Structure 1
Amino acid sequence: MCLRRLLQSSQLQRTWRAAFLKHVQGRHPGARRWMHSGGGPYRAVIFDMGGVLLPSPGSVATEWEVQNHIPSGTIVKALISGGENGPWMKFMRAEITTEDFLQEFGRLCSEISKTSVPVDSFFSLLTSDRVTKQFPVMTEAITQIRAKGLQTAVLSNNFYLPNGKSFLPLDRKQFDVVVESCLEGVCKPDPRIYKLCLERLGRQPSESIFLDDLGPNLKAAASLGIHTIKVDDPETAVKELETLLGFPLRMAVPNTRPVRKTMEIPKDALEKYLKDLLGTQPTGPLELLQFDHGQSNPTYYVKLANHQLVLRKKPPGTLLPSAHAVEREFRIMKALANAGVPVPKVLDLCEDSSIVGTPFYLMEYCPGLIYKDPSLPGLEPSQRRAIYTAMNRVLCKIHSVDLKAAGLEDYGKHGDYIARQVQIWTKQYRASETSTIPAMERLIEWLPLHLPRQRRTTVVHGDFRLDNLLFHPETAEVVAVLDWELSTLGDPLANVAYNCLAHYLPSGFPIQPGLSGCDLTELGIPTAEDYFRMYCLHMGIPPSENWHFYVAFSFFRIAAILQGVYKRSLTGQASSATAKQTGKLTEFMSNLAWDFAIKEGFRVFKEMPATKPLTRSHHTWSLLRTPGTRSYVTSTDSSPAHASKGALIFSPEGLSPRVRELYQRLKEFMERHVYPAEPELQRHQASAERWTPSPLVEDLKVKQPFVSTAQPQLVHWPYLFLLRQ
């Protein structure tokens, strides 16, 4: 059945509307009048964690019990068993270790269910990235509360992880105070822990509101004079909180916030400019909000009477000549709109810096949904598949634009796109280098030697990913592609590979949530390889054999960008903790890039002819090839494969019998043990335990003694092969 007919079914329409309500954070402007703006008696809002900011352990337990065929209610009964002296509450007060808790809790669950209960599995799920994502409606409520000058706090019955750190998967910068039971040795509903939180906030009970999902905890808070809200559903709780505070906690325009102090622009000059541009004299004040997503160029929501606009400007300060080129953005969006690509309608380019401080352009505001999480939580598998298909098709539409007809032939250079990009980002990396990163050194040597032949030159977006697309709220239709700042002419396959990077990142990755470790089949999301094949099918082109090269290049590019951010952060523009984290992300990305370089090297190796040994050609053709590209011109001789000591070995048949046997055993070991373990190894590398040896790696060392005993120096043989290509 075609997508259009699917979307016309009333049932699916209702499902899309439900998803819309989940993702849209706000209502239509003017939908509700507010009595006052932050001037009420409340000066602090205190949040519980599980069941308020995050899913409750009870809801996680219900799902887990079904999946593991455990009698319903077993986990919850065990959690409350024993009251204050039960294993759960003792664990919350750090009176017992994780190991002791799991042993005691497992015994209790088994007694309740009359069957063996794998509580380790439940604990892993409870602390996994999949169930520790803060509810978006709560995140926005906290943002609005703090924007009004009120304090926020977390008051949680919490526990220690095996690594000695407390389990707090929240951004601490959202809160003025964090109080955890495991650190204080006292739990809710003990009045002492509420008094401790109020004392650290410097507030009276009557000035505070407390949100929790458990009645006893709320009763204890209310007995002290704190106003309480019972949280059964985050959306409903936020509505009640709005009523108490007297101001909206969800912006009328999704993904916006009040304009930051450092990004304020003069309203009077802008209003006069808009009145002249629009040719009318609208009444009512100018409304201004700032978008909170993807802001290398500050972007604002502007409303004047019935006109809803978006203003995108250069940032203040001294800029590089080619950086933040809003003029190019305006040009490309105007041209693509005429070519049928869904982009916002641009209205005017203003290069007069006297109006808002820097040049800017205006476009019409497009309402819609932005999906920030590539796993698309809250949608059905069929909807996720439709979203990814729509994203794929709009990328094909961009790559199909006729450059001459669109007037974009001079929008960038033709040919050698990857070569130029490698040179640019190598230069940028060298300029911001702070220490030697081995993977980056290998990539800088390897990438120029393996440049693919560019088949076509098209418009490339430069940052094409799911959260730069605006979707229709009720269908899988892309209504606008946003953020064209990095667009140019180049190799379209680089766009496709970049579009798939989320597939290889962990779900809890700090820059962008990823899909690594997710069951894509269950979610209805195509794999990266399936997505690439879908693209080739839509474009009517054969799949490229060097897909892994493009992915390696894309991760290399991101690593170089992150290194620049890290270098700038060391100058004092960010905290040392932030700087340290960014530096580690650079290394993580470069390691991922090198992983794909290795895969590309093995692909090339497997495709080499195996009948006769191949040696380098030194005749005239090799001298005429384009510098920086691989030569496929080879010559053969009739000498034995391993007779010439100076010959470079291209095929296993060119190895000595003993080494050939070792190669075969190494290959089998990689295919049987290493490749299947890659997702787990990547998760460990992105986790808090990444600086401790991975148990899986230690296990692999035990399983491959033949490598170290037979020929230790050949452990890195695949790397040597890659560097010689």
Structure 2
Amino acid sequence: GSSYKAVIFEESGVLLPAPHMTATDWEARSCVPAGTIQQAALSGGENSLSLKYSRGELTAVEFLQELGQQCFEIANVCVPVGSFLWDLIRNEMIKQLPIMAEAAQCIRAEGLKTALLSHNLCLEDGEKFLPPDQQHFDVMVESHQEGMPRPNPGIYKLCLERLGVQPEESILLDSSSQNLKAAAQLGMKTVKVDDPEAALKELETHLGFPLQGFVPYTRSVRPGMEIPKDCLQKYLEEVLAAHPTGPVKLRQFDHGEPTRSYLVKFGVRLLVLKKEEEPQDGSSGHSILREYRILKALSEAGVPVPRVLALCEDRSVLGTPFYLLEHRAGHIHRAVSLPAVPLHQRRACYGAMAQILARIHSLHLGAATLQELGEHGNYIQRQVETWTKQYRAVETHLIPAVERLIQWLPLHFPESQKTTVVHGDFRMDHLVFHPDRPEILAVLGWKFATLGDPMCDLANNCMSFFLPAHFSARRGLRKCDLGHLGIPTAEEYCQMYCGHMGVEHPENWDFYLAFAFFRLAVMLQGRHQRSLAGRPAPGDSSPEDAEFVAELAWEFAIKEGFRVFESLTPTKLLAGHSSTWAG
């Protein structure tokens, strides 16, 4: 990959159309000789009115006055340039160049930062104009506001400082040679934008990844994770009985799951391909076949999951088994604080999440396909045993809280466990929401699905309430003002779920939370161990992450211990006391 960490877009002429480019239609409507505005704006080379304005050397009012004067000299008619600019802003400049907007999204999807340099267009009445879709940019710098019109190098230094990158780690896209020269003198890489498509091709060569074909939550295929497109194309043509004209295009989903997940563009169709990992040690990896069967069974049972299309167990096609799903477009909320959701809808999003979890736990197990999901009974016992073995396999150093939990958990298993379908990793970022309303379109991430205790799912789902917002391994809501955010408390959320299920909140709830955090601690330790072994995955974990989560688990274990202690009658306490001494 490249060493670049940020791309900076000039607003006018790069992200937004240059003013003169949209003049022709207006001239025809206004009975002004064709080409007048373009000639007036561009004549003078580097000292043209257009570039002087884009560099901030002219205010909007001065630009209009001089543009009007130039137009009069060229066409010998009075040209109402004010109405042209108004028309331009109201109709044309709200339209970002789609290819540039998409490029900015592709850049951010790869983990690079983006910045927008704006000179902040103003109308004569002082009304400011800001471009749409500012969410594509990590940093916005307005030259007039900063008092540093381009090509003042200070504006680039300020932008780099806010991005947190060095000049040689950045690329500037601009249409002005003068601006580009100033940036290059600082050590920035520069790309001149005359033709946007050509400029993006040049940018692609510098960055080393495509800047088109963006689909949310995907990135370009990671090195070493490529799959043979020709073989895939042939397979898709046979299975889907379709023969699109263009070649198959691939992107990769950007979550750090062990199973390789790809977005496949096959003609006009968007598909998801989930492929089994190449086994590291010759053993069979995660069972794609099992996951395929689970999704098929859940779909037949009415759970909103992406529709499964095909399973391929023939290793000669892509090397390992894989299956195909329909792609479900929508919003996946990575942040549990739901910053992208309107305040008044956030509680409803949590309500929808509680409802869908209850729906999963209410599935009738009579269906043979659901019966095959796993064993009945002793779910938590088996889980604790499995995750303890897993911890021993990835242990790198002593974590006292984990050792205490390994001793404590088997002594506090629930006396009775209900058996339902359990998702196994149910959380906000495994849900696809409708773009405009708090409705769940699909539930993802079923690789841990089995038959088990539904309270384990609920506890796993509630972990975010107890994890800090700054905890990079899994950001949470601890110490956040939930009322201000419009988000229910953990207690309120649990009541939503219990209301849908028609059950009481379990008195041993802290046991379930202790187990959920124990499991997460083991997962984070596994990530850390893999990174030490030279097999880093997206979302690497530090040793402190596992320790922090294990301590959190132990806090819940202590709370559960107190609850059990307080529930004992004096007689039981005395009996326990004497038997301890007798032992």
TM-score normalized with structure 1 length:
0.54
Show CA shifts across 1:119-138 (max 9, x none): xxxxxxxxxxxxxxxxx999
In 1: Cα distance, 2:385 partner to 2:5 partner: 52
Contact 1:454 1:491 in 2 (8 A): no
Q: What is the alpha-carbon distance in structure 1 between the residues aligned to residue 580 and residue 269 of structure 2?
A: 74
Aligned ranges 1:206-285 → 2 under 5 Å: 208-209=172-173, 224=182, 245=200, 252-285=214-247
Contact 2:304 2:442 in 1 (8 A): yes
Letter in 2 for 1:295: E
Aligned match of 1:189? 154
Match of 2:435 in 1: 473
Would you say the 8 A contact 2:278–2:320 is kept in 1? yes
Is 1:614 matched with 2:576? no
Q: Confirm or deny: 8 A CA contact 1:338 1:406 kept in the other structure.
A: no
Q: 1:679-698, aligned counterparts within 5 Å?
A: none
Q: How does 1:527-542 map to 2 (within 5 A)?
A: 527-542=489-504
In structure 2, relative to structure 1, the CA distance for the partners of 1:241 and 1:201 (3 Å cut) is farther
Residue deviations 1:503-528 (CA, integer Å, cap 9, x gap):
11111111121111111122121112
Residue 593 in structure 1 maps to residue 553 in structure 2: yes
For 1:197-220, what per-residue CA distance to the aligned partner results, in whole angstroms no more than 9, with x for missing partners?
9x97669x9x74489xxxxxx999
- How does 1:510-525 map onto structure 2 within 5 Å? 510-525=472-487
1:446 paired with 2:408, answer yes
In the TM superposition, residue 468 of structure 1 has moved relative to its aligned partner by 0.6
Residue 377 of structure 1: how far off its partner (Å): 0.4
Amino acid at match of 1:368: G
Structure 1 residues 144, 330: CA separation in 2 closer, same or farther (over 3 Å shift)? Answer: closer
| Matches for 1:147-226 after TM superposition, within 5 Å | 189=154, 208-209=172-173, 224=182
User: Can you list the C-alpha shifts for 1:96-122, whole angstroms capped at 9, x where unaligned?
Assistant: xxxxxxxxxxxxxxxxxxxxxxxxxxx
User: What runs of 5+ residues in structure 2 fail to find an aligned partner?
Assistant: 10-100, 118-137, 139-151, 187-194, 205-209
For 1:324-723, list aligned pairs within 5 A: 324-574=286-536, 582-610=542-570, 612=571, 614-616=573-575
Q: Distance in 2 between matches of 1:538 and 1:565?
A: 35
- Answer yes or no: is the 8 Å Cα contact 2:279–2:285 preserved in 1: no
> Where do residues 31-70 of structure 1 align in structure 2 (5 Å cutoff)?
none
Distance 1:439 1:414 in 2: 30
1:683 corresponds to: none
* Percent identical residues: 47
Counterpart amino acid of residue 224 in structure 1: A
**Deviations 1:584-622 (CA, angstroms, capped at 9, x unpaired):** 111111000001011111112222235x563337xxxxx
Deviation at 1:47, TM superposition (A): 5.3
The CA distance in 2 between the partners of 1:541 and 1:44, in whole Å, is 51
The 8 Å contact of residues 417 and 491 in structure 1, kept in 2 or not, is answered as yes
Q: Aligned partner of 1:350: which letter?
A: C
- Whichever residue aligns with residue 584 of structure 1, its letter is E
Letter in 2 for 1:469: L
How far the C-alpha of 1:430 sits from its partner, in A, is 2.0
Distance 1:290 1:647 in 2: 61
Given the superposition, is the C-alpha separation of residues 194 and 419 from structure 1 closer, same or farther in structure 2, using an over 3 Å criterion?
A: closer
Secondary structure of the structure 2 residue equivalent to 1:408: helix
> Cα RMSD between the aligned structures?
4.1
Shift of 1:316: 1.9
Given the superposition, is the C-alpha separation of residues 506 and 200 from structure 1 closer, same or farther in structure 2, using an over 3 Å criterion?
A: closer
Structure 1 pair 527–441 and aligned structure 2 pair: CA distance change class (3 A): same
Match of residue 258 from structure 2: 296
Q: Which letter does structure 1 place at the counterpart of 2:557?
A: A
Q: C-alpha deviations, 1:341-396, integer Å up to 9, x for none?
A: 00011011110011111100011111111000000003233311111111111111
- The amino acid that maps onto 1:615 is L
CA distance in 1, matches of 2:375, 2:230: 41
Q: Does the Cα contact within 8 Å between 1:194 and 1:221 map onto a contact in 2?
A: no
Q: In 2, distance between residues paired with 1:242 and 1:460?
A: 49
The match for 2:79 is none
Alpha-carbon offset, residue 564 of structure 1? 2.3
- The 3 A distance-change label for structure 1 pair 269 and 616 is same
Whole-angstrom CA distance in 2 between matches of 1:261 and 1:403 = 42
Displacement of 1:647: 5.7
1:142 equivalent in structure 2: 107
Q: Distance in 1 between matches of 2:520 and 2:318?
A: 32
Structure 1 Cα separation of the partners of residues 108 and 159 of structure 2: 23
Shift of 1:489: 1.1
The one-character-per-residue Cα deviations of 1:291-334 (angstroms, maximum 9, x if unpaired) are 11243111111122232211111012336756411111110111
Aligned length: 440
- Per-residue CA deviations over 1:632-654 (Å, capped at 9, x if unaligned) read xxxxxxxxxx9x79669xxxxxx
Cα distance 1:516–1:225, how it changes in 2: closer, same or farther (>3 A)?
Answer: closer
In the other structure, the counterpart of 1:70 is none
Does the CA contact (< 8 Å) of 1:412 and 1:489 recur in 2? yes
Please give the secondary structure, in 2, of the residue aligned with 1:572.
coil
8 A Cα contact 2:278 2:285, kept in partner? no
- Compared with structure 1, are the counterparts of its residues 646 and 541 closer, same or farther at alpha carbon in structure 2 (3 Å cutoff)? closer
Q: Give the aligned partner of residue 712 of structure 1.
A: none
Change (3 A) 1:190 1:431: closer
Q: Secondary structure at the match of 1:261?
A: coil
CA distance in 2, matches of 1:259, 1:270: 15
Instruction: Give matches, 1:95-110, under 5 Å.
Output: none
Q: Distance in 1 between matches of 2:394 and 2:316?
A: 34
Secondary structure, counterpart of 1:311 in structure 2: strand
Q: Go from structure 1 to structure 2 and tell me whether the alpha carbon gap of 1:473 and 1:288 turns closer, same or farther (over 3 Å shift).
A: same
Partner residue in 2 for 1:64: none
* Counterpart secondary structure, 2:262: strand
Residues in 2 aligned to 1:137 and 1:516: alpha-carbon distance in whole angstroms: 35
Return the letter of the residue paired with 2:402.
M
Taking structure 2 as the reference length, what is the TM-score of the superposition?
Answer: 0.67
Whole-angstrom CA distance in 1 between matches of 2:159 and 2:373: 61
Cα distance change on mapping 1:47 and 1:541 into 2, 3 Å: same
